[in-house]
Amino acid sequence: MKTTLKDWPEVYRRIKDAPGFDEHEKILFARSLAATPDERWHMNVTYLKSLGLWGRYGRRKSASK
């Protein structure tokens, strides 16, 4: 099944009864399963930017703490 990020609700419906995860974790898992590799890369970059760890000096700045 070829999916894109916009198809994550369909993937979520398939895994919503899986034991051992809360609802938030299931949503994140469904989004990562539904996303294409490029979409997963974009989500990763966006997350790192939100933490201030993306860019020329982000890794160096966090390592000095």
Model confidence pLDDT, tens digit, residues 13-22: 999 999 999 9
Q: Are 38 and 19 in contact (CB under 8 A)?
A: no
Dihedral angle of Cα 28, 52, 41, 27, to the nearest 10 degrees: 10
Nearest to 31 by CA among 49, 19, 47, 20: 47
As averages over each run of 10 residues, the pLDDT of the chain (65 residues) reads 82 92 93 93 93 74 54
Cα separation, 65 vs 57, in Å, equals 13
Position 61 scores a pLDDT of 56
Distance, CA of 17 to CA of 19 (rounded, Å): 6
Given this model, what pLDDT does residue 30 score? Answer: 93
